[in-house]
Amino acid sequence: MAIVTPLKTAAEQALVQQYADAKAELPGGPAVRKLREDAFAGFEAKGLPHRRLESWRYTDLRSLLREARPLADGVKVTDAVKARLASLKLDGLRLVLVDGVFAPELSMLDAIPEGLTVQSLADALVQPREDLARVLSGPSVGADDAGLALNTALMRDGVFVEVADGVALAQPVVIVSLASAEAERAAFHRSVVLAGKGAKATIVEVSEAAGPAAQQVNGAIVFETGDESDIQHVRMITRHQAASVEVQSLLVTVGAHAKFDSFALVCNAGTVRQQHFVRFAGEHTEIGLRGINLINKAQHSDVTLVVDHAVPHGTSRELYKTIAGGEATGVFQGKVVVRPHAQKTDGGMKSNALLLNEGAAMFNKPELEIFADDVVCGHGATVAQIDSEQLFYLMARGLPRAQAEALVLQAFAGEAAEFIGDEAIRELVMGEVEAWLKAREAAAEVSTV
């Protein structure tokens, strides 16, 4: 058979050009440069991920990304950005990225407590750190992902956070990534969180657009956490234009006797692809990945995760709740891998989806790949409608239909947010959920199935 050489799409060609133009200016020493070159060579060979690639089966980036927007050039602190920052109701140590570039003047660099170091990724990349390439790469299970490769090649900035051994941060570190969004631009950023032995911290990531233009965002965050550490990660992707495309990679390596929890909320965004690559590096560790996806209109939310039980005695839990209305599409692809000898693994994965009306769709692919025998692993996946009996119960007590639905949906979604340890953050998340439901109620939208 003839070997097929795929034609490059306009977006792929543009990305090749962008990389050629930008690579001299992109930060990093020789090791980082090599990392970028290798990653881009991989991208150039394979192109944008498409539906024939198993891990991108339901999110065809090749057809979604018709054009590659120009790379964002520098920090644009517009009034809208300032206003958005001012209205952000979240206490914590704020670190701000604007259009993917660290903005020290908007960040609380003077409030950094002892045991915490913060620098921009651009600064970190040029430092002679031996472990830099390893730290940036994250667990091997994500190594051949095309979305991540593009981020590796083009990452411009981000924050590089280190929490020293034994330090428990009193307040969360809040990484706000705002797009000025006055014009259609693309931003590639990556942040790194290194947590030492016994460190305890909450890291919040907020991704929003302040302006009216659709953005292309390719972000990544790397966690490498030490033994006995306890790290909580909360991500909120909201307030993006319908035509925006966002790819977010979460790369996690966790030490022994540690705890790592991640939660992500997606609402009022365009096309969002989150991909989590998580690896157990030490025994007796608990990892939880959870999320809520609220989608309507033509929105698309994809959560694809790989949990790699590389060592024995690991516990993992995944719980994702999707509510889809309009013409929206929800995707959940979860894969739990239990390596040979990773005995006593306990894995539980669940994806629940409610479809509100004809036109909405949900694709579930919960996978188990198990090579050890002394394990307890399970997964469940459901797709259904709002339970008519629950609605009847509430309406029989006098609640109007729209309100009854909102109540049922809130309870359905809320289950995944219960695990957020920080009360203020949990309330903020549920506040967003309630606002989304209120908007639906106000528009007198009711489920038609």
Partner 1 sequence: MAAVQETIDQVKSIDVTEYKYGFVTDIEVDKPAKGLSEDTVRYISARKNEPEWMLEWRLDAFRRWKTMTEPTWSRVNYPPINYQDIYYYAAPKKGASPKSLDEVDPAILETYKKLGIPLSEQEILAGVAPENRVAVDAVFDSVSVVTTFKKELAQAGVIFCSISDAIQEHPELVKKYLATVVPVTDNYFATLNCAVFTDGSFVYIPKGVRCPMELSTYFRINEQNTGQFERTLIIADEGSYVSYLEGCTAPKRDENQLHAAVVELIALDDAEIKYSTVQNWYPGDSEGKGGIYNFVTKRGDCRGKNSKISWTQVETGSAITWKYPSCILRGDGSRGEFYSIAVSNGAQQVDSGTKMIHLGKNTTSKIIAKGIAAGKSDSTYRGMVSAHRKATGARNFTNCDSLLIGDQCGAHTIPYIEAKTATAIFEHEATTSKIGEDQMFYCQQRGLSEEEAVALIVNGFVKEVLQQLPMEFAVEAQKLITISLEGSVG
DSSP label at residue 55: G
Nearest residue (CB) to partner 1, 6 versus 74: 6
Nearest residue (CB) to partner 1, 238 versus 343: 343
Nearest residue (CB) to partner 1, 133 versus 363: 363
Instruction: Check binding of 51 to partner 1 (CB under 8 A).
Output: no
- Cα separation, 16 vs 9, in Å, equals 11
> Residue 413, Cβ neighbours under 10 Å: how many?
26
Size of the site for partner 1 (CB under 8 A): 40
Instruction: Report in angstroms how near the CB of residue 118 gets to partner 1 at its nearest.
Output: 42
Centroid of chain to Cα 305: 10
- SS3 letters for 116-168? EEEEEHHHHHCCCCCCHHHHHHCCHHHCCCHHHHHHHHHCCECEEEEECCCCE
Helices 146-154 and 30-46, interaxial angle, to 10°? Answer: 140
Instruction: Report in angstroms how near the CB of residue 3 gets to partner 1 at its nearest.
Output: 11
Backbone φ and ψ for 68, nearest 5 degrees, come out as -90, 120
Of 9, 248, 253, 364, the residue at the interface with partner 1 (CB under 8 A) is 364
> Residue 285, Cβ neighbours under 10 Å: how many?
24
Taking residues 319 to 358 in sequence order and writing x for each that binds partner 1 by CB under 8 A, - otherwise, the string is: -----x---------------xx-x---------x-xxxx
Q: How far is CA 413 from CA 235, 252, 323, in A?
A: 16, 25, 8
Instruction: Report in angstroms how near the CB of residue 331 gets to partner 1 at its nearest.
Output: 10
Among 284, 242, 234, 237, CA closest to 261? 234
Instruction: Report in angstroms how near the CB of residue 25 gets to partner 1 at its nearest.
Output: 41
Task: Judge whether 274 and 248 are in contact, CB under 8 Å.
Answer: yes
Instruction: Check binding of 370 to partner 1 (CB under 8 A).
Output: yes
Instruction: Report in angstroms how near the CB of residue 299 gets to partner 1 at its nearest.
Output: 15
Instruction: Report in angstroms how near the CB of residue 24 gets to partner 1 at its nearest.
Output: 40
Helices 423-442 and 401-417, interaxial angle, to 10°? Answer: 150
Of 8, 317, 379, 426, the residue at the interface with partner 1 (CB under 8 A) is 379
Instruction: Check binding of 361 to partner 1 (CB under 8 A).
Output: yes
Instruction: Check binding of 446 to partner 1 (CB under 8 A).
Output: no
Instruction: Check binding of 362 to partner 1 (CB under 8 A).
Output: yes
Instruction: Check binding of 380 to partner 1 (CB under 8 A).
Output: yes
Q: How far is CA 351 from CA 238, 348, 360, in A?
A: 21, 10, 16
Nearest residue (CB) to partner 1, 211 versus 330: 330
- Chain contacts with partner 1 (rule: CB under 8 A): 1, 54, 324, 340-341, 343, 353, 355-385, 448-449
